[in-house]
Amino acid sequence: MPEASSMRRALRGSLSNSATAAVFLAGGQAALLAGGLHAASAHDLPLGDDKITDAPRAGYVFSCQQRFNKNTPGAHSSGDWLGASTWNPEKKPHVEGSVTWPARISIELEGDRRVVRANNLPTHPTGVFPIRRSDPAYRYDRNNGRITEQDILLELPAVPAVAAAPSCVPMGMIGFSLTNAAQYNALDGRGDDAPAHEMQDSCGGHPQERGQYHYHNMTPCIDDTRSQPGGHSDLVGYAIDGFGMFGKYGQDGKTLTNADLDACHGHAHVIDWDGQQRSLYHYHMTDEYPYSIGCFMGTPVNVPGSVSGAPQRPREGAGRRPPERRGGPGGREQVLSKAAAELGVSTETLRKAVGPPPPDFQQASRLLGIPANEIRRALDAARGR
């Protein structure tokens, strides 16, 4: 099998179809959706492969998942858009087609909460998924996922607060776009640069295995309007910690780079927030990896299907005998602790991934990016089998 890091999927291309849809927002915040897009950058972009860290670091993803399986199913080939250290969005193919969807999304203020209710079907046309054999994209990626309606209910703080310390981002939804699509982090299932490798449609999206349509960077199907003071980008979505996600332009209309942002890919200054001028932290999208959110500056809400919590790395003291927990030697907590140390994840992350007894190894494999038989062996070894 060819090396995974040199054989992946793709993004972008020219957008030939667009749609305009209304989004109901609290406080009059809005962005113009689909109906034109900005031309792709003509220069190569730095490749973000393996730029994963276990602590906040600018230009990296502080990922809750620290271990990735390079044999995870994905694209099986790559083309001339991908170099050794750069990639060119203009040269990349995209999934063909123009499928429209019955999008439903509302974002409302309810007391001290901002409540997002949505079906996660995008407000813009998408490519045809599963990717058809006749599609040139099929040469590189045979994504057989089907876009399906999701039941999205996010209860976010209306005015989020900065947490005591930044936290890691999960594999799965880290935010929600005003286009009614989920925002994922910059990583694919192999720990590589998803926009550079994965085959996506002309709006930069595709479905995962459970059918959730999502982006890994800023979709070209939302106009990066700039009605904020000084030509600052408008809101394009909300992170699951409640802070806003804004487009690529900062104060004075400057196109932002990683050098302008902190380790979580944001900064704080006065913005229009629910119709009021408020000094508030917020994230920005950029052309540079990690594209959206590198870590959470606030406290994220729990999202079903995402592995979150502490970074998945060996806990301090791994390799020493852990203290006995409820159930005595061989009890479930001690087994999970031993197995987690062996797998390089936190005990809590492993507990969430395998679920209640009996353990769901296939689910755990998808969430952790570790082969199911390896997870089984680690648990068996921890039980002394």
CA distances from 160 to 24, 91, 157 (A): 20, 40, 5
Average pLDDT over residues 305-326: 41
Q: Find the DSSP H helices in 194-346.
A: 194-197, 332-343
247: Cβ contacts below 8 Å, ≥ 6 apart: 31, 218, 224, 225, 226, 233, 234, 236, 284, 285
Choose the weakest-confidence range: 185-199, 264-278, 286-300, 349-363.
Answer: 349-363
Count CA atoms closer than 13 A to 178's CA, side-chain side: 28
Chain segment 291-302, per-residue pLDDT in tens: 999 999 999 998
- Is residue 154's pLDDT more than 70? yes
Q: Answer whether 282's CB lies under 8 Å from 245's CB.
A: yes
- Is residue 347's pLDDT more than 90? no
298: Cβ contacts below 8 Å, ≥ 6 apart: 157, 160, 161, 162, 163, 239, 241, 242, 243, 281
Instruction: Report the distance separating Cα 25 and Cα 102, nearest Å.
Output: 18
Chain segment 223-240, per-residue pLDDT in tens: 999 998 889 999 999 999
- Is residue 208's pLDDT more than 80? yes
Domain ranges of the chain: 1-303, 312-385
Average pLDDT over residues 201-215: 97
Average pLDDT over residues 372-383: 85
